[in-house]
Amino acid sequence: MAPRIATSAADAVAGIHDGATVLIGGFGNAGQPMELIDALLDGGATDLTVVNNNAGQADAGLALLIKERRVAKVICSFPRQSDSWHFDEAYRAGEIELELVPQGNLAERIRAAGAGIGGFFTPTGYGTLLAEGKETRVIDGRGYVLETPIHGDVALIKALRADTAGNLVYRKTARNFGPIMAAAARQAIVQVDEVVPLGGIDPEVVVTPGLYVDTVLPLPATTEGAAA
Protein backbone atom coordinates (compact mmCIF):
# COMPACT_ATOMS: atom_id res chain seq x y z
CA MET A 1 0.00 0.00 0.00
CA ALA A 2 1.29 3.42 -0.90
CA PRO A 3 2.22 5.59 2.07
CA ARG A 4 0.01 8.30 3.38
CA ILE A 5 1.13 11.78 2.38
CA ALA A 6 0.80 13.92 5.51
CA THR A 7 -0.49 17.46 5.25
CA SER A 8 1.60 18.80 8.14
CA ALA A 9 4.17 17.66 10.66
CA ALA A 10 1.42 17.58 13.31
CA ASP A 11 -0.67 15.38 11.06
CA ALA A 12 2.31 13.09 10.43
CA VAL A 13 2.95 12.36 14.12
CA ALA A 14 -0.67 12.44 15.32
CA GLY A 15 -0.76 8.68 15.97
CA ILE A 16 2.16 8.58 18.42
CA HIS A 17 0.82 7.48 21.81
CA ASP A 18 2.08 7.80 25.38
CA GLY A 19 4.66 5.17 26.23
CA ALA A 20 5.72 4.65 22.61
CA THR A 21 9.23 3.63 21.60
CA VAL A 22 10.34 6.21 19.05
CA LEU A 23 13.38 5.65 16.84
CA ILE A 24 14.75 9.04 15.78
CA GLY A 25 17.23 9.24 12.91
CA GLY A 26 20.13 11.60 12.55
CA PHE A 27 23.75 11.91 13.54
CA GLY A 28 24.51 15.44 14.63
CA ASN A 29 22.36 17.67 12.45
CA ALA A 30 22.77 15.40 9.44
CA GLY A 31 19.54 13.51 8.84
CA GLN A 32 17.84 14.84 11.94
CA PRO A 33 14.06 15.06 11.31
CA MET A 34 13.77 18.32 13.20
CA GLU A 35 10.24 19.25 12.07
CA LEU A 36 8.87 15.84 13.06
CA ILE A 37 10.54 16.04 16.48
CA ASP A 38 9.13 19.52 17.01
CA ALA A 39 5.69 18.21 16.12
CA LEU A 40 6.10 15.36 18.60
CA LEU A 41 6.96 17.97 21.22
CA ASP A 42 3.85 19.99 20.36
CA GLY A 43 1.72 16.85 20.25
CA GLY A 44 2.01 16.02 23.93
CA ALA A 45 2.85 12.29 23.85
CA THR A 46 4.80 11.43 26.98
CA ASP A 47 6.56 8.59 28.83
CA LEU A 48 8.45 7.92 25.59
CA THR A 49 11.43 5.65 25.03
CA VAL A 50 13.67 7.37 22.49
CA VAL A 51 16.34 5.63 20.45
CA ASN A 52 18.88 7.98 18.89
CA ASN A 53 22.65 8.11 18.62
CA ASN A 54 22.72 11.00 21.10
CA ALA A 55 20.53 12.42 23.84
CA GLY A 56 19.72 15.82 22.44
CA GLN A 57 21.80 18.91 21.79
CA ALA A 58 21.37 22.55 22.82
CA ASP A 59 17.80 23.84 23.05
CA ALA A 60 16.19 22.08 20.14
CA GLY A 61 14.44 18.90 19.11
CA LEU A 62 15.13 15.89 21.31
CA ALA A 63 16.78 18.08 23.96
CA LEU A 64 13.48 19.92 24.45
CA LEU A 65 11.52 16.65 24.70
CA ILE A 66 13.92 15.68 27.50
CA LYS A 67 13.68 19.10 29.12
CA GLU A 68 9.89 18.74 29.23
CA ARG A 69 10.34 15.29 30.90
CA ARG A 70 8.48 13.56 28.12
CA VAL A 71 11.21 10.97 27.68
CA ALA A 72 11.32 8.21 30.27
CA LYS A 73 14.25 6.39 28.72
CA VAL A 74 16.96 7.05 26.15
CA ILE A 75 18.77 4.27 24.32
CA CYS A 76 21.86 5.81 22.73
CA SER A 77 25.62 5.57 22.30
CA PHE A 78 26.77 9.08 23.15
CA PRO A 79 24.60 11.12 25.54
CA ARG A 80 27.33 13.40 26.87
CA GLN A 81 28.21 16.39 24.74
CA SER A 82 29.23 19.95 25.42
CA ASP A 83 25.67 21.11 24.77
CA SER A 84 23.65 18.18 26.19
CA TRP A 85 22.66 20.17 29.28
CA HIS A 86 19.01 19.09 29.32
CA PHE A 87 19.92 15.42 29.32
CA ASP A 88 22.65 15.98 31.91
CA GLU A 89 20.19 17.69 34.24
CA ALA A 90 17.48 15.05 33.86
CA TYR A 91 20.03 12.25 34.29
CA ARG A 92 21.61 13.72 37.40
CA ALA A 93 18.13 14.28 38.85
CA GLY A 94 17.37 10.60 38.26
CA GLU A 95 14.49 11.56 36.02
CA ILE A 96 15.56 9.73 32.88
CA GLU A 97 16.79 6.19 32.33
CA LEU A 98 19.84 5.68 30.13
CA GLU A 99 20.68 2.50 28.24
CA LEU A 100 24.16 3.07 26.85
CA VAL A 101 24.98 0.96 23.78
CA PRO A 102 28.14 0.94 21.66
CA GLN A 103 27.31 2.67 18.40
CA GLY A 104 27.78 -0.33 16.14
CA ASN A 105 25.77 -2.54 18.47
CA LEU A 106 23.04 0.10 18.50
CA ALA A 107 22.95 0.10 14.71
CA GLU A 108 23.02 -3.69 14.47
CA ARG A 109 20.30 -4.11 17.12
CA ILE A 110 18.08 -1.78 15.09
CA ARG A 111 18.96 -3.62 11.88
CA ALA A 112 18.24 -6.97 13.57
CA ALA A 113 14.76 -5.80 14.55
CA GLY A 114 13.92 -4.92 10.97
CA ALA A 115 15.38 -8.18 9.71
CA GLY A 116 13.51 -10.45 12.13
CA ILE A 117 16.62 -11.53 14.04
CA GLY A 118 16.04 -12.53 17.66
CA GLY A 119 19.56 -11.73 18.83
CA PHE A 120 23.16 -11.90 17.71
CA PHE A 121 26.62 -12.43 19.17
CA THR A 122 28.95 -9.47 18.65
CA PRO A 123 32.58 -9.04 19.72
CA THR A 124 31.99 -5.33 20.43
CA GLY A 125 31.82 -4.67 24.15
CA TYR A 126 33.06 -8.10 25.22
CA GLY A 127 34.91 -7.86 28.53
CA THR A 128 33.62 -4.33 29.22
CA LEU A 129 31.18 -2.73 31.66
CA LEU A 130 28.59 -2.54 28.88
CA ALA A 131 28.47 -6.32 28.63
CA GLU A 132 27.85 -6.87 32.33
CA GLY A 133 24.91 -9.17 32.96
CA LYS A 134 24.72 -10.19 29.31
CA GLU A 135 25.15 -13.69 27.96
CA THR A 136 28.58 -14.26 26.43
CA ARG A 137 30.08 -17.02 24.36
CA VAL A 138 33.54 -17.86 23.08
CA ILE A 139 33.39 -18.79 19.39
CA ASP A 140 36.57 -19.96 17.65
CA GLY A 141 38.60 -18.51 20.50
CA ARG A 142 37.04 -15.06 20.43
CA GLY A 143 34.63 -13.61 23.01
CA TYR A 144 31.18 -12.42 21.96
CA VAL A 145 28.21 -10.77 23.71
CA LEU A 146 24.56 -11.56 23.03
CA GLU A 147 22.65 -8.46 21.93
CA THR A 148 18.92 -8.28 21.27
CA PRO A 149 16.93 -6.35 18.67
CA ILE A 150 15.53 -2.85 19.26
CA HIS A 151 12.02 -2.57 17.84
CA GLY A 152 10.26 0.75 17.48
CA ASP A 153 6.60 1.61 17.55
CA VAL A 154 7.46 4.55 15.36
CA ALA A 155 10.49 5.80 13.43
CA LEU A 156 10.97 9.47 12.64
CA ILE A 157 13.50 9.91 9.87
CA LYS A 158 14.61 12.35 7.21
CA ALA A 159 15.34 11.54 3.60
CA LEU A 160 16.06 13.70 0.58
CA ARG A 161 13.31 12.49 -1.71
CA ALA A 162 10.42 10.05 -1.84
CA ASP A 163 8.24 8.91 -4.70
CA THR A 164 4.55 8.28 -4.14
CA ALA A 165 5.31 4.59 -3.49
CA GLY A 166 7.47 5.63 -0.52
CA ASN A 167 10.78 4.69 -2.09
CA LEU A 168 13.49 6.82 -0.51
CA VAL A 169 16.85 8.27 -1.39
CA TYR A 170 19.00 10.07 1.14
CA ARG A 171 21.73 12.66 0.92
CA LYS A 172 25.38 12.05 1.84
CA THR A 173 26.03 11.22 5.52
CA ALA A 174 22.46 12.22 6.40
CA ARG A 175 21.54 8.62 5.52
CA ASN A 176 23.00 7.31 8.81
CA PHE A 177 20.23 5.54 10.79
CA GLY A 178 17.37 6.20 8.33
CA PRO A 179 17.21 2.93 6.40
CA ILE A 180 17.55 0.65 9.44
CA MET A 181 15.11 2.63 11.58
CA ALA A 182 12.51 2.64 8.80
CA ALA A 183 12.65 -1.17 8.80
CA ALA A 184 12.71 -1.59 12.59
CA ALA A 185 9.54 0.37 13.40
CA ARG A 186 5.91 -0.60 12.95
CA GLN A 187 5.25 2.88 11.58
CA ALA A 188 7.93 4.77 9.63
CA ILE A 189 7.27 8.48 9.27
CA VAL A 190 9.63 10.23 6.88
CA GLN A 191 10.13 13.90 6.20
CA VAL A 192 11.51 14.64 2.74
CA ASP A 193 12.46 17.70 0.77
CA GLU A 194 10.22 16.59 -2.08
CA VAL A 195 7.81 13.89 -3.23
CA VAL A 196 8.11 12.92 -6.89
CA PRO A 197 5.70 10.87 -9.06
CA LEU A 198 6.16 7.15 -9.63
CA GLY A 199 9.12 6.70 -11.93
CA GLY A 200 10.77 9.82 -10.57
CA ILE A 201 13.40 7.77 -8.73
CA ASP A 202 15.55 5.30 -10.65
CA PRO A 203 14.85 1.87 -9.05
CA GLU A 204 18.60 1.21 -9.11
CA VAL A 205 19.29 4.02 -6.66
CA VAL A 206 16.43 3.42 -4.19
CA VAL A 207 17.96 3.01 -0.73
CA THR A 208 14.82 2.34 1.32
CA PRO A 209 12.11 0.47 -0.61
CA GLY A 210 8.65 1.92 -0.11
CA LEU A 211 7.33 -1.13 1.72
CA TYR A 212 9.01 0.14 4.88
CA VAL A 213 7.47 3.59 4.67
CA ASP A 214 4.05 4.44 6.13
CA THR A 215 3.84 8.22 6.15
CA VAL A 216 5.64 10.81 4.06
CA LEU A 217 5.77 14.48 4.95
CA PRO A 218 6.93 16.72 2.12
CA LEU A 219 8.63 19.88 3.35
CA PRO A 220 10.01 22.69 1.22
CA ALA A 221 13.70 22.09 0.53
CA THR A 222 15.62 23.49 3.45
CA THR A 223 18.86 21.70 2.69
CA GLU A 224 21.37 23.78 0.82
CA GLY A 225 22.38 22.13 -2.39
CA ALA A 226 19.72 19.46 -1.96
CA ALA A 227 18.46 19.97 -5.50
CA ALA A 228 21.85 19.14 -6.93
Partner 1 sequence: MNPSPQTTTDAPVHHASTAAPLDRDALARLVAADIPAGSFVNLGIGQPTNVSNHLTSEQDVTLHTENGMLGMGPVATGEDVDEDLINAGKIPVTELPGASYFHHADSFAMMRGGHLDVCVLGAFQVSAAGDLANWHTGAPGAIPAVGGAMDLAIGAKATWVMMGLFTKDGASKLVEALSYPVTGLGCVSRIYTESAVFLLEGGRVVVRSTHGTTFEELAERLPVQLHRG
Query: Site residues (CB under 8 A) for partner 1?
Result: 27-31, 53, 77-81, 87-88, 91-92, 98, 100-108, 110-111, 122-130, 143, 170-180, 207, 223-226
CB of 14 to partner 1, least distance (A): 28
Q: Cα–Cα distance between 45 and 14 in angstroms, integer? A: 9
Nearer to partner 1, 14 or 98 (CB): 98
CB of 116 to partner 1, least distance (A): 14
CB of 92 to partner 1, least distance (A): 8
Nearer to partner 1, 64 or 78 (CB): 78
Name the maximum alpha-carbon separation found in the chain: 55
Q: Cα–Cα distance between 178 and 180 in angstroms, integer? A: 6
Of 72, 27, 31, 30, the closest CA to residue 54 belongs to: 27
CB of 5 to partner 1, least distance (A): 23
CB of 174 to partner 1, least distance (A): 4
Of 25, 28, 42, the closest CA to residue 152 belongs to: 25
- Which residues make Cβ contacts (< 8 Å) with residue 210, sequence separation at least 6? 2, 3, 162, 163, 165, 166, 167, 168
| CA geometry: angle 45, 56, 14, nearest 5 deg | 25
Nearer to partner 1, 45 or 191 (CB): 191
Nearer to partner 1, 45 or 168 (CB): 168
Nearer to partner 1, 1 or 228 (CB): 228
